[in-house]
Amino acid sequence: MKKILLIAIFIGLSVWTVSADLSDWLFCLIRKDTVNISLKQTSWYYKCKDTIASLEQLMINTARDINKVQTYIYRWRDVDYRSTVKAEKQNLLDTLQLSRMTIIANMKTFETNLIQKSVQYFIIKITPYKIRLQKSLIKIDAMVASGVSTYSLNVYATLLRAQVKTIESLSKATTMSELTDLLTKYVYLKKEIEWKYE
- Of the candidates 158, 166, 161, which has an alpha carbon nearest to the alpha carbon of residue 185? 166
Question: Cα dihedral angle (62, 107, 179, 174), rounded to 10 degrees?
Answer: 110
Question: Residues 44-99: pLDDT tens digits?
Answer: 898 999 999 999 999 999 999 999 999 988 888 888 999 999 999 999 999 999 99
Rounded Cα distance, 51 and 107, in Å: 12
pLDDT in the model for residue 195: 76
Can you give the residue ranges of every domain in the chain?
2-197
The reported pTM is 0.67
pLDDT in the model for residue 67: 93
Q: Is the pLDDT of residue 6 over 60?
A: no
Question: Residues 150-193: pLDDT tens digits?
Answer: 888 899 999 999 999 999 999 999 888 888 899 999 999 999 99
